[in-house]
Structure 1
Amino acid sequence: MATIKRYPFARHLRTAPTSHVLHLHAGRLRHDGAGLAFWFRPLSAVISEIPVDDRELPLVAHARTADFQDVAVQVTVSFRFEDPTLVAGRLDFAIDPDTGRWTGNPLEQVAHLLSELATGQVMDALAGMTVLEAVTSGGGALRRLVTEGLLADERLASTGIQVLGARIGSVRAEADMERFLQTPAREQAQGEADKSTFERRALAVERERAIAENELANRIELALREQQLVSQDGANARTRASEAAAAALIEANAAAERQGLLAEANAHSTRIVGEAEGAAEAARLAAYAGVDRDVLAALAMRELAGNLPSIGNLTVTPDLVTGALAGLVGSKGA
């Protein structure tokens, strides 16, 4: 919107670079261009301001498909005023010289015109499509048809309006029809979800089976190793017992051999001692062979006295002396 400053008997106008201004004075064009700033007299000036920036018009077009289904299409039309002089001659873009505001509603007129033309293009495009094709096409074909139709429209070209393009936001059928169309996709999605669930369960079962088999294999391996350990322990025990028995046998044989040797040594020693004693005894007896009997008796008595215990008191009775003397006399007589 232009900025107008009021002074006595004159006005000053300044516009933005995106606004094209046409200034007529007494029917003659005095100023023509974008981003102008100039003085004018309000009583004799006719000024039009046309925006030359790119603009967008969102709208919702309702149409019917080839299978008689109502469809709502969200469309956004991009446009610009290509020829401001032509636009000012076809549409009322005049501004108030005191406020700088448009005296009419030119943009609403343009919006109405573009809405009608875009809706007509949408209706023509959807008339050859079924509702399923319209909903599932993604808007690409519809956008191309609408854009080409608006670019080829002669009324827009004669008004100085250039359509830059059209975008399709969405293509929506009625609620019941949308639910009907969504049912196969939902069923397919549910089937895929069920399939994924079953596959996940099957995978879980397979993993559990693998884990159980692994545990069983581990248990079998442990049992085999335990069996090997028991067998080895038994073999080791038998080996230890055999070695202990062999060692005991060797020790027993050694002890028996030692005892035999000791017995033989003792016997030999005893034999030697006996022979020596026998020889001594024989020599002693041989020495006594020529000795008188009384001497032998005296020696015997001396030997006996040497072996008797010590006698503190000795009592000699007449009977004892008589008997001894009788024996002595008898021996001498003999």
Structure 2
Amino acid sequence: MADISRYPGFRHLRGAPTVHIRHIRKGRLVHEGTGQSFWFRPRTAVLSEVPVDDRELPMLFHARTRDYQDVTVQLTVTYRCTDPETATNRIDFSLDPDTGTWRQDPLSQIANTLTESTQQHALKILATLDLEEAIKTGVERVKAAVAENLRADHIGMEIIDVRVVAIRPDADMEKALQTTIRERVQQEADKATYERRAVAVERERAISENELKNQIELAKREEQLVVQRGANALKQAEDNARTAKIANEAKAEGIQRLAEAEAAGEKARLDAYREIPESTLYALAAKELAGNLPEIGSITLTPDLIQPILNRLAR
């Protein structure tokens, strides 16, 4: 508020940088502007003080949605006086020249005007929305509608900003919605859990199938290995048998040839013995016998033994 100093018959007003002062005397404007400081006579001066700084007007009101649900709207409107002359002509901003206070309550009048206009635009847009839509998108829609349609230039004010803080249903409905949302979230969580389990089961099945395929492939390779080993063993046995057969045939052939050679030699020797006289044969036989007899240290000859030999020799 303005700072007014009292003196006998005079007053001194000292304003501030954020207030616009208008001084009218006898219907004529004497002083006007921010940061004013001047002397005046209290009986002839008409003073007005209009704040020109940014002011915030919080609001809290109820509205009804299209589905007849009650919601609470909380928003804040920021405004500023940009035309003090219009403001003083439409709203009583007059000061008491003795105390420097407003004679009326102009800020309350501005607040009522802006609140009613803001509620009108907010109620209009919320009446076209269901409760769920109002909760989800109502904040942006109400803000856009109020910022676009709210006007205060007819009282010298400019709307700087509109901020919608919240749009909330009543406590029971909010609890019911929270329960519904919790159930939905829980269902989605359960669905995600089931899907994750299904994916895990599918992965385990794929792993098991892969392991089974690997085992089958390994068994096939082992079977092929066993067959190959059997084939190799059979081939080796056949090769060994063939080698042994060849060796036996060669050995038999050698034995046969040796036998034939011995038989031929024996035949030749017999043929040779046929042409040799019998006495010569006995002599050769005795020689052969003597060569094959063991060493004799002494020998005893009896007449019975010598007589046949002598008889044969005599013949």
Asked if structure 1 preserves the Cα contact closer than 8 Å seen for 2:50 and 2:93, the reply is no
For residues 121-143 of structure 1, the C-alpha deviation after alignment (integer angstroms, 9 at most, x for no partner) is 43455456654554355334433
Q: What residue number does 1:231 align with?
A: 227
> Match for residue 86 of structure 1?
86
Counterpart residue identity of residue 241, structure 1: A
- Tell me, what secondary structure is at the counterpart of 2:242? helix
- Offset of residue 106 of structure 1: 6.0
Say yes or no: does 1:119 pair with 2:119. yes
1:271–1:132 CA distance, 2 compared to 1 (3 A): closer
Aligned residues of 1:118 and 1:146 also touching (Cα < 8 A): yes
- The 8 Å contact of residues 139 and 170 in structure 1, kept in 2 or not, is answered as yes
1-structure distance, mates of 2:235, 2:77: 102
**What is residue 201 of structure 2 aligned with on the other side?**
205
Counterpart position of 2:246: 250
Q: Which residue does 2:191 correspond to in 1?
A: 195
Greater Cα offset, 208-217 or 241-250: 208-217
The aligned counterpart of 1:51 is 52
Equivalence for 1:24: 23
Q: In structure 2, what is the Cα distance between the partners aligned to 1:277 and 1:68? A: 151
| Closer, same or farther: CA 193–65 of 1 in aligned 2, 3 Å | same
Query: What is the identity, as a one-letter code, of the residue corresponding to 1:86?
Result: T
Query: Do the aligned partners of 1:52 and 1:82 also contact (CA within 8 Å) in 2?
Result: no
Change over 3 Å in CA distance of 1:111–1:243 after alignment to 2? same
Question: 1:258 and 1:42, CA in 2 relative to 1: closer, same or farther beyond 3 A?
Answer: farther
SS of corresponding position for 1:77 = strand
Give the structure 2 partner of residue 317 of structure 1: none
Aligned residue in 1 for 2:158: 162
Which residue type is aligned with residue 119 of structure 2? T
Tell me by how many angstroms 1:242 deviates: 0.8
Q: Does 1:171 align with 2:172?
A: no
TM-score (norm 1): 0.60
Q: Which amino acid aligns with 1:212?
A: S
- Equivalent residues, number: 278
Query: What is the Cα deviation at residue 231 of structure 1?
Result: 1.3
Runs (5+) with no aligned partner, structure 1: 4-8, 97-101, 289-299, 312-326
User: 2-side partners of 1:222 and 1:310: how far apart?
Assistant: 84
The one-letter code of the counterpart of 1:115 is T
| Counterpart-to-counterpart distance in 2, 1:255 and 1:10 | 154
The verdict on how the C-alpha distance between 1:137 and 1:39 changes in structure 2, with shifts beyond 3 A counting, is closer
In angstroms, what is the RMSD of aligned CA positions? 4.9
State percent identity of aligned pairs: 38
8 Å Cα contact 2:21-2:31 kept in structure 1: yes
- Secondary structure of 1:139's partner? helix
1: CA distance, partners of 2:149 / 2:51: 25
Q: Give the corresponding residue for 1:296.
A: none
Kept in 1: contact 2:22–2:33 (CA 8 A):
no
The one-letter amino acid paired with 2:165 is: G
- CA separation of 1:108/1:271 partners in 2, compared to 1, >3 Å: closer, same or farther? farther
Q: Which runs of 5+ in 2 are unaligned?
A: 4-10, 299-309
Offset, 1:269 = 5.4
User: 1:222 is matched by which residue type in structure 2?
Assistant: L
Q: Write the letter of the residue equivalent to 1:143.
A: K
Deviation at 1:86, TM superposition (A): 2.6
TM-score normalised to structure 2 length: 0.63
Q: For 1:50, give the aligned amino acid.
A: P
